[in-house]
Amino acid sequence: MAGQLNIHFKGSFSDVKACPVTTLPEYAFIGRSNVGKSSLVNMLSGKTHIAKVSNTPGKTQLINLFEINEQWNIADLPGYGYAKTSRVNRTAWGKMVTNYLLQRENLVLLFVLIDSRLPAQKIDLDFMEFCGKKQIPFSIIYTKSDKSSTNQLKKQIAEIQKELLRHWNALPDQFISSSQNKSGRDEILDYIYGINEEIVRK
C-alpha cells in the first residue's frame, strides 16, 4: 500500500499558458461539480487538506497543479455543470478547460469522475464524446462508493455502463473509489505508476 506521497502544490492557473512547462507526465481529474475531484486528489496524496474541498459545488475554479514525488503531476480541474455560475463564467470555464485539455503537452491521461449513485448524466456523456472527438484519452472513476451497499453499487455501475455502451463500442479503463474509506487508492496509483513506467521505457 502506497503511504503518503510527497506532494507539492505548484499553483492555481486560469490559463494553460500560465501553467509551468514540464516534461513530467500529468494526470488530470475532471467531472461534474461536487463529484469529488478534489477529495480524490487528497485521498490519493494521503494528505487531507492539500486540495480544497467543499459542500458547495463550484469550489475549484482554476487549474490546480500538484507535483508528486518529483515524478508526475496531478491537475485538479474545476467541475462542469455548475448551474449557478453565470453564462459568462461557463464560457470562461469552457475555454480554460478546453485549452488545457488540447494544449497541455505533458497531459497523459484524463480521469473522468462519475458519481456512482446517479444514472448516467447527459453532461458526462457529452463531455466524454468531446474527449473522443478530440482524441483525449480518458479513464473513468466512479466516486463516492461508500454511499451505497455493495449490491446497490454493482447495480448502479452496471446501469451507467449499459448507457455508456449505447454511445461507445467499448468501455475505457474504470475504477471505483471512495475518498471516505480510501477504496480504489492502490488501484488508481498502480495504474498511474504503470503508465509512468511505460513512458520512461519509451
Binding site for ligand GTP (CB under 6 A): 33-39, 53-55, 57-60, 78-79, 143-144, 146-147, 178-180
| Least Å from the CB of residue 183 to ligand GTP | 9
Which residue type is seen at 45?
S
Give the one entry of ligand GTP, Mg ion, none that residue 54 binds, where binding means its C-beta sits below a cut-off of 5 to 8 angstroms depending on kind.
ligand GTP
Residue 139 binds Mg ion, judged by CB under 5 A: no
Residue 179 binds Mg ion, judged by CB under 5 A: no
Give dist(CA 40, CA 21) in Å, integer: 24
Buried b (16+ CB within 10 A) or exposed e, 1-13: eeeebebeebeeb
Nearer to ligand GTP, 25 or 79 (CB): 79
Nearer to ligand GTP, 187 or 199 (CB): 187
- Give the contact letters, 33-52, x = binds to Mg ion (CB under 5 A), - = no: ----xx--------------
| CB-facing half-sphere around the CA of 87: CA atoms within 13 A | 0
Residue 76 CB partners (closer than 8 Å, separation 6+):
29, 37, 38, 41, 51, 60, 63, 64, 65, 66
Q: Residue 187, SS3?
A: helix
Nearer to ligand GTP, 35 or 101 (CB): 35
| Least Å from the CB of residue 24 to ligand GTP | 22
| Least Å from the CB of residue 23 to ligand GTP | 27
Burial of 190 from C-beta contacts in 10 A (0-12 / 13-18 / 19+): exposed
| Least Å from the CB of residue 193 to ligand GTP | 22
What length does the chain have? 202
**What residues make contact with Mg ion under the rule CB under 5 A?**
37-38, 59-60
